Amino acid sequence: MKFTKPLLAALLLLLFLALLWSPKATAQDYDIYVSDAGNFSRPPWQILKFDGNGENPEVFITENLDWPHDIVFLEGSNSVLVSNFNSGRIDRYNADTGRFIDIFASGLGGPTRMKIGPDGRLYVIQASGTQRVRRFELDGTPLGDFTFFGLPRGLGMDWDTQGNLFVSSYDWRIVRLFDQQGGDMGSFVNSYLAGPTNIWFRPNGDLLVSDYDSNTVWRFDFTGLYQGPFIQGLSQPEGVAVLPNGNILLGNGGTSSVRMYTPDGVYIEDLITSGSGGLIRPNAIVLRERQPSPRLQINAGLNDAWYNPITDGQGFLVTVYPDQERMFVAWYTYDTERPPDDVTANLGEPGHRWLTAQGPYDGDSAELTIFVTEGGVFDAAQPPATTDQAGDGTLTIEFADCTEGLVTYQITSLGISGEIPIERIALDNVALCEELADR
């Protein structure tokens, strides 16, 4: 078939538009976090992070997990909470790095779903023990039970526009209604359900119920009247998130994937494909607006020996003084030219040189003055060594993270300047640096 130029141009335009509007054509400004329940009460467990296109999986959290059930980000404290059914704990992690911070709450009866309510407080379903919904301030201050009617194996909750709380019970196969004060208002849905997990309201007021055992999302109107299936053909659905454009993400445990549907429940694609990132059994899906990379805060965990592997044999000793917010650097290097072969030294090598630098730091960078000390003799008070306090140039260190940095120097007396990428000689202090940076 022979294409004319106008026809070819039209085809290329259509191809471009198809790519432009395809689900994964444009970068999204959010990331997707998925709780992986693994083998239920037995590991492996993990919290995975994907980009907004469901790609580039990363293991975000594994530490202290014990059958995780839900994820809540607290942007005000740059932290993220994970509920753990087996341990009865909610653990707190750094929202950017996933590093464990502390225990947010303990002594809970099988905590499952967590949500921030209309009053700005954290609500937590307890699936065992008292089986009541517990409430917390976002700093972890316990506020006691919000509901006093226990629901066995509660796995989903949401609020209507009037502030009433709805909670699903997997074991009782119902959705229970509570008023704004936590008072029990009876069953809202008590038929058609086989094993309800997540529940959420549509903009039109309909309640959607994800049913793990019937592999269906059911729809009920604002009075609880059954409206039929909303999504079918699932396999062990648990975990839901609604995208900014209204599309719905559903965890599909039977295929170890996350599926995407239109706001009307029409299947689009598996946004997170089967087993991506080692995913086994999704049970919670959370979106987080993409954050700018946090600047490292210089801290005492950077105290170490640093070097450029290309110029092995020379480098820097870095010492941070947090109370003074100052840094001292010893720079061990060589002369700019090799000395003649007949030049000797009593100690060391004739080409050895060392400089010092010190000054203040702020954030991830230190602005230091280079000093040259001269006139001394090995391990002797006389003749006295002297240092020109005016300095001999500047040295700036900018740390990308706890393992890498960039030195920029300008030596006045020589009229030279340049950059030196540096990294640690050993990694022993990296954990300390990251811990201090998280504070």
- Locate 262 and state its tokens: 């239109």
pLDDT in tens, 306-352: 999 999 999 999 999 999 999 999 999 999 999 999 999 999 999 99
Same domain, 89 and 215: yes
* Residues whose CB is less than 8 angstroms from the CB of residue 167 and which lie 6 or more positions away in sequence, other chains included: 125, 133, 147, 151, 154, 156, 157, 175, 176, 178, 199
pLDDT-derived band at 6 (thresholds 50, 70, 90) equals low
- Name the most confidently modeled range: 4-13, 250-259, 291-300, 342-351: 250-259
pLDDT surpasses 70 at 9: no
267, 259 Cβ separation under 8 angstroms: yes
Same structural domain, 355 and 319: yes
Output the domain CATH number for residue 60: 2.120.10.30
The residue range of the domain holding 388 is 300-438
Q: Are residues 334 and 186 in the same domain?
A: no
State which of 265, 289, 313 marks the end of a domain.
289
If asked whether residues 265 and 354 sit together in one domain, one would say no
Residue-wise pLDDT for 213-224, tens only, equals: 999 999 999 999
pLDDT at 7: 56
- Asked whether residue 50 falls in the same domain as residue 95, the answer is yes
Mean pLDDT of the chain: 94
Examine the domain organization and report whether 95 and 183 are in the same domain.
Answer: yes
For 393-437, the pLDDT digits (tens) are 999 999 999 999 999 999 999 999 999 999 999 999 999 999 898
> Does 335 share its domain with 236?
no
Is there a single domain that holds both residue 304 and residue 284? no
> Measured in whole angstroms, how far is the alpha carbon of residue 157 from the centre of its chain?
24
Please check whether residues 277 and 350 belong to one and the same domain: no
ω into residue 203 within 30 of 0, thus cis?
A: no
Look at residue 4 and tell me if it is in a domain.
no
Residue 50 and residue 23: Cα distance in Å, rounded? 15
Sheet (strand 122-126) strand order = 111-116, 122-126, 133-136, 142-145
Residue 4 has a pLDDT of 55
Whether residues 110 and 219 fall in one domain: yes
Which residue has better confidence, 354 or 293?
Answer: 354
Residue 12 in domain: no
- Partners of residue 261 on adjacent β-strands: 248, 267
Task: Decide if pLDDT at 269 tops 60.
Answer: yes
Instruction: Give SS3 for 89.
Output: strand
Check whether 16 has a pLDDT greater than 90. no
Domain stop point among 240, 270, 289 = 289
- Whether 295 is in a domain gets the answer no
Instruction: Please check whether residues 285 and 328 belong to one and the same domain.
Output: no
Under 8 Å CB-to-CB from 161, ≥6 apart: which residues? Answer: 201, 205
Span 187-200, pLDDT tens digits: 999 999 999 999 99
**Per-residue pLDDT at 13:** 52
Domain count, the chain: 2
In this structure, is residue 8 part of a structural domain?
no
Q: Tokens 């309800």 — which residue? A: 196
The answer to whether residue 14 is domain-embedded is: no
pLDDT at 37: 98
**Within-domain flag for 9:** no
Last residue of a domain, one of 255, 289, 323: 289
Q: Please indicate, yes or no, if residue 159 is contained in any of the structural domains.
A: yes
**Do both 274 and 327 map to the same domain?**
no
Question: Is the whole-model pTM more than 0.85?
Answer: no
**Does residue 390 lie in a domain region?**
yes
pLDDT above 70 as % of the chain: 94
